[in-house]
Structure 1
Amino acid sequence: MPIQGRFFRRLSEGVAALARRLRRDERGAIAVQFALLALPLSILIFGLVDVGRLSLQRRQMQDALDAATLIAARSTAATDAELDAAGDAAFLAEIAGMNLGLTASNSTFTAGTNNRVVGSVTATLKPIIANFWQRGDFTVTARSEVVRSSKDLEVALVLDITGSMGGTRIADLKVAASDLVDIIVRDTQTPFYSKIALVPYAAGVNVDTYADAVRGPVPVRDVSNVAWVASGTPITAITKAWPARVTSNNHGLVTGDKVLITGINASGSNSMSSLNGQTYTVRRDTNNRVWLDGVNTTLKSNYSSGGTIQKCLTSNCSLVVTTGASHGFSTGDQISFTGIGGTTTLNGQTVSITSLTSTTFDTGVAGLGTAAYTSGGTATCEQSTTPGCRRLAYVSNWGNNKVRSISTCVSERTGPQAYTDAAPSTAYVGTNYPSVSPETNSPNPCPSAKITPLSSDKASLKAQINAYAAGGSTAGHIGLAWGWYMVAPNFGYIWPSASQRPAAYKTKDLMKVVILMTDGAFNTPYCNGVIAANAGAGSGSDDDHINCNATNGDSFSQARALCTAIKNSAYDITLYTVGFDVGSDATARSFLTDCASDSSKAFFPATGSELKSSFKAIAQEISSLRISK
């Protein structure tokens, strides 16, 4: 108990005892003394009431400060100024009606160490009776500390930069998205971090230098050998006849085989050695003899010795390349070569191949006269009718032959992992062969804006956003998928820096958020890396679409499946959607409402200013949830 309290308790007890004695004492002197003491004793007794009132006011002030500090800690305020503003408002609300005579200037709220919020208040309370024996007012102080609960924050911002977002729309989006970055990403990244990843999308998502890792690299195979004839068997005789007959034990040849003859020794001016270095077609006679079709040796001198007959590896005696591992190339693929030692004639050439085995293919380049292979070299797939090579040859929806070049954009993943966050090392996402000039008269290119992995660098994030340009059709389902991938731990190994890699799902004190923004219908699904035949209106010319329907179905169907997968409780991801000026588009509104984690997280701004307000509201709600959830 405070000293003042103990003093006044003892004083009151003494006064009461004295009064009892005086009531029993009937002597006149004592009565006079009691009369003289009555007034000061009364003042002291009433002072006890004064002190009790002050004690009550101090308790009320402490309670109000405790509540206000807690409210400030749960707010989104970060700086001392923001905390003070939030705390002052809460403090005034708490003391309203208490008649304590306090104002906002009495209280102060600041950020303390170790994620604490510190509140303090100083008050001057006026006594009623006590100032008879002391000068001035009572000065009372109170202090409160709250450990601010918080969470790490990983947010993927998926932004529509399609052609319909041109003009003021893209300008409004840049402001809205930049404001969101400012609110969500805190200047102080300890003890809790807050990061944002950016996924701008149009006809696809540009993954930039990560393309090889996520959709697979263009196939490049190491060359282990180049040859055009087999090892062969020794020649022991050649007849002077038409056609000539060659004896070579266990030659293994069949009728129609092409062969090369080399190494016959000279035996005169018109010797059999003239057969050297030439290719011939044989007819099988026995296991040990073959005829050389059309070869007349009747005028040659007799065979002397030596020579080898070697079977060509192909029917046209062309060069056959062997790769160290399965090449994966198909007949008709166009393959280029570089760095081959010895058989340098292939270097710099691009040829249409015939696949022979999983590790060999026929180049179609004549082998006769080429130097023997020595070492090294690579074979690269330049063009194919299946996705993966540098160029894709396909038939358009109008029946025309087209050729497109691969881009650093990607399309949707197909197969069993289409709607999962499985690592690209398990299942690649789709390739993208966009419609670009001069390949087409109606370009629908890979957007220049690229993805940005999780980052707390506000300046860099806003610089990326401010560089966005509108153009192209709407593959919103691909954008949504990449929003998920940016916060998916299974994709983390792709990013070069540990700070860019998302934490595991349901890590303690972690929030993961995906925000999908679009201004209209999704209309751009793919088949074999080209916009599908059944793509929606606004996705470019039918002549630029491939003549097959979308592998996974239409864009909205794919997006719905992704929404369901993302909201699986195993991931604990909060999903927001923003439909910018979608108006009466019932399909878009229904999709966006259903896609969000709940209907309160679906926003439908109609104007640029409403778009900014929606983004701000989302940012503030995320920040609030981050602190209080």
Structure 2
Amino acid sequence: MSASRKPAAQPRRIGPALPVRMAPLLQRLRRDQSGNVAMLFGLLVIPLAAMMGLAVDFGRVYSVTSHTQAALDAAALAAGRTAQLNSSNPVATASAAATAYFNQAKPRDVVTSTLQFSPNSGNTAFTVTATSWVKTPFLSVLYSIAHKTASQGAPAGCQANGFGCVMVSSTATAALCPSSTCTGNSAGGSNVEISMMLDVTGSMCSPCTKIQAVQSAAKDLIDIVVWSDQSQYYSRVALAPFAEAVNVGALLAPLVRGVPTVNTSSTPQTFTTTTILNDVTQQPTKQWIKYSKASGSGTNTWVVSDRCVTERIGAQAYTDAAPAGASTYVGKGYFGTSTTTSCGVGNHSDTEVNSIQPLSTDTTMLKRRIDKLVSGGSTAGHLGTAWAWYLLSPNWNTVLQAAFPTSYAAGPYSDLTTLNSKGQPKLRKIAVLMTDGDYNINYCKGTEALNSNQTPQIKCNSENGLSQAQATSLCTAIKNAKIEVYTVGFEVSAAAKAFLTSCATDASHYYDATTEVALQAAFRDIALKIATLRLTN
């Protein structure tokens, strides 16, 4: 005897199936002649029909709302991505992309849909708002019974055949956020630390619109990558201007190159040709040196700069070891007979001129310092490269914050390879190295060396070799520390282009800018690569 088989359970139906399940009940009530059932049924027909009609109308409105939001999200992301790729005319191209995406994906069961496109002032966030009108015939009947007027601004199609409409308005915003640091939908990313090496040599004023282009480009990058909300993830920027040396400021200089002992035989600005100094033993502790000229007979005398430094020599030349003593100090700089020279650019009473700035989120201050950049001097690119690294190095936190107490400490290197809860690296460190020429000056004992490519001042060769060779070693060490390196060549030679390409993380991280417009586009593209496009509402 075969086992009896129960019918398979039918899936439970909800929503639109409700009127189907109610049909037998309504028919039974309509035929029932007992008591007051017929009268009650008659009274219930209208509200029941209204409820079913309202369910249909609200379902249509909900469907249009969901469909519209999905179309808007796609339109906003399309606008942001298009702006990333078209920096020359981001607003027009972004608006066109948003409109095209929305028109393709918008709901069809509406009377009409209109789109409004609104970029922010920096073209880093794009808001699209859609207004759609949905026909709601059952609601229109209730409105007419209640003597309600038609919705203000409703299109003509909503009035045809007595049908009314409901307006559906939705908004989506796509923003460029530093390494996914936006809050809102799809949030999650990394902390970001960026140092910018900026060439302020004399050739940057040939013509002077070149330095102006750099200033504009650097400020644009700051506007994009330094996000206003630093609560969830931070994004910070440091500045490393360079020419023939690096201006670290009068407070930091003695901490990183040692404190010269005051020369008791004369003031720093006064010397006598009969005074003989044994440079090898006394130069590290004296405010001035006297050494044989690079060419010809006789001697020159130089005074140590109170704010400018040169290259580190010895075992730590190509490391980011903290400057904690004679073996790890960076080099002093001797540039003439004045202690206050700004690294070959001339004397400036404004201490912010061409000075470094450790990591900060103060965009007003960062852009003010960029506006104060002036051009002059030769190209010691290895020094700019080294300081772009030092400003990202946690090993330098103590000494940098001693001179710049409001700056932020650099994060630990371990965070570069540690993933956060979102599956992203906890931290990204990025160096942006920009120059407009071949590196051409290096030092011996803090003075332009005999083997320098410019105008040697001293009769000894650089302990570390030529500037580009030193920069090559520094680039390798920086990349080995897991720091991402972007390089930008501004109207550079073929040799400089080859060097900068090799210095970058890879070939895609090098930008060959042949015009001022191309330079600004390069910085913006770097900023947009650092930033991530996210929906924020």
Shorter-chain TM-score: what band?
0.5 to 0.7
Shift of 1:399: 4.9
CA distance in 1, matches of 2:476, 2:533: 22
Q: 1:572 to 1:87 in 2, by over 3 A?
A: farther
Q: Which of 478, 484, 500 is the matching residue for 1:592?
A: 500
1:527 — aligned with what? 444
Name the structure with the higher helix share.
Answer: 2
CA distance in 1, matches of 2:479, 2:257: 25
CA distance in 1, matches of 2:241, 2:166: 62
Q: Which of 12, 23, 26 is the matching residue for 2:20?
A: 12
Deviations 1:108-149 (A, max 9, x none): 999xxxxxx999977542257886788633566779952522
- Structure 2 counterpart of 1:577, one-letter code: T
CA distance in 2, matches of 1:614, 1:148: 26
Shift of 1:205: 0.4
Shift of 1:55: 5.9
CA contact (8 A) 2:245 2:344 kept: no
1:402 — aligned with what? 300
SS for the counterpart of 2:255 is helix
CA distance in 1, matches of 2:336, 2:291: 13
1:608 — aligned with what? 516
CA distance in 2, matches of 1:185, 1:452: 15
Q: 1:627 to 1:561 in 2, by over 3 A?
A: farther
CA distance in 2, matches of 1:385, 1:499: 35
1:420 — aligned with what? 319
The reply on whether 1:429 has 2:326 as its aligned counterpart is no
Shift of 1:216: 1.0
| Gap regions ≥5 residues in structure 2 | 1-12, 31-47, 85-89, 121-125, 145-163, 173-183, 268-273, 349-353, 421-425
Shift of 1:473: 0.7
2:217 — aligned with what? 176
Q: Which of 124, 149, 154 is the matching residue for 2:193?
A: 154
CA distance in 2, matches of 1:45, 1:184: 53
Shift of 1:611: 1.8
Q: 1:65 to 1:593 in 2, by over 3 A?
A: same
CA distance in 2, matches of 1:627, 1:9: 36
Deviations 1:198-241 (A, max 9, x none): 11111100111211111111147xxxxxxxxxxxxxxxxxxxxx
Deviations 1:454-507 (A, max 9, x none): 222222222222222211111001011001111111111112326432222243
CA contact (8 A) 1:76 1:624 kept: no
- Structure 2 counterpart of 1:493, one-letter code: T
Question: What TM-score, normalized to structure 1?
Answer: 0.58
1:199 — aligned with what? 240
SS for the counterpart of 1:424 is coil
Deviations 1:169-208 (A, max 9, x none): 2222222223323333334433333322211111100111
> What pairs with 1:563-602 in structure 2 (closer than 5 Å)?
563-568=475-480, 571-582=481-492, 585-602=493-510
- Structure 1 counterpart of 2:242, one-letter code: Y
SS for the counterpart of 2:437 is coil
2:134 — aligned with what? 125
Count residues in correspondence.
435
CA distance in 1, matches of 2:279, 2:463: 24
CA contact (8 A) 1:579 1:604 kept: yes
1:137 — aligned with what? 165
| Gap regions ≥5 residues in structure 1 | 23-40, 111-116, 221-333, 339-350, 355-380
2:176 — aligned with what? none
1:212 — aligned with what? 254
Shift of 1:534: 0.9
- Structure 1 counterpart of 2:113, one-letter code: L
- Structure 2 counterpart of 1:451, one-letter code: I
Q: 1:143 to 1:433 in 2, by over 3 A?
A: closer
CA distance in 2, matches of 1:109, 1:477: 40
SS for the counterpart of 1:501 is coil
- Structure 2 counterpart of 1:614, one-letter code: A
CA contact (8 A) 1:75 1:624 kept: no
CA distance in 2, matches of 1:178, 1:109: 19
2:468 — aligned with what? 556
The reply on whether 1:103 has 2:114 as its aligned counterpart is yes
SS for the counterpart of 2:329 is coil
SS for the counterpart of 2:290 is strand
- Structure 1 counterpart of 2:17, one-letter code: R
SS for the counterpart of 1:96 is helix
CA contact (8 A) 1:519 1:579 kept: yes
- Structure 1 counterpart of 2:101, one-letter code: A
Greater Rg over alpha carbons, structure: 1
Q: 1:388 to 1:626 in 2, by over 3 A?
A: farther
> What pairs with 1:126-525 in structure 2 (closer than 5 Å)?
126-127=135-136, 136-138=164-166, 146=185, 148-166=187-205, 167-209=208-250, 210-219=252-261, 386-400=283-297, 401-407=299-305, 408-425=307-324, 427-435=328-336, 444=344, 449-494=354-399, 495-496=401-402, 497=405, 499-507=407-415, 509-525=426-442
Q: 1:619 to 1:482 in 2, by over 3 A?
A: same
CA contact (8 A) 2:249 2:355 kept: yes
Deviations 1:5-30 (A, max 9, x none): 9675333234478899x9xxxxxxxx
CA distance in 2, matches of 1:397, 1:626: 58
Deviations 1:536-582 (A, max 9, x none): 1xx22x4x2x22222111111111111111112xx432211111111
Shift of 1:592: 0.9
Identity of matched residues, %? 36
> What pairs with 1:24-173 in structure 2 (closer than 5 Å)?
56-64=63-71, 93=101, 96-97=104-105, 98-99=107-108, 100=110, 101-105=112-116, 123-127=132-136, 136-138=164-166, 146=185, 148-166=187-205, 167-173=208-214
CA distance in 1, matches of 2:21, 2:506: 66
CA contact (8 A) 1:67 1:91 kept: no
CA distance in 1, matches of 2:356, 2:384: 10
CA contact (8 A) 2:490 2:515 kept: yes
Q: 1:137 to 1:109 in 2, by over 3 A?
A: farther
CA distance in 2, matches of 1:58, 1:466: 48
CA distance in 2, matches of 1:68, 1:588: 42
- Structure 2 counterpart of 1:418, one-letter code: A
- Structure 2 counterpart of 1:491, one-letter code: W
CA contact (8 A) 2:114 2:130 kept: no
- Structure 2 counterpart of 1:102, one-letter code: S
Question: What TM-score, normalized to structure 2?
Answer: 0.67
Name the structure with the higher strand share.
Answer: 1
> What pairs with 1:538-553 in structure 2 (closer than 5 Å)?
539-540=454-455, 542=456, 544=457, 546-553=458-465
Q: Which moved more, 1:66-75 or 1:595-604?
A: 66-75
Q: 1:163 to 1:437 in 2, by over 3 A?
A: farther
CA distance in 1, matches of 2:332, 2:15: 87
CA distance in 2, matches of 1:189, 1:519: 34
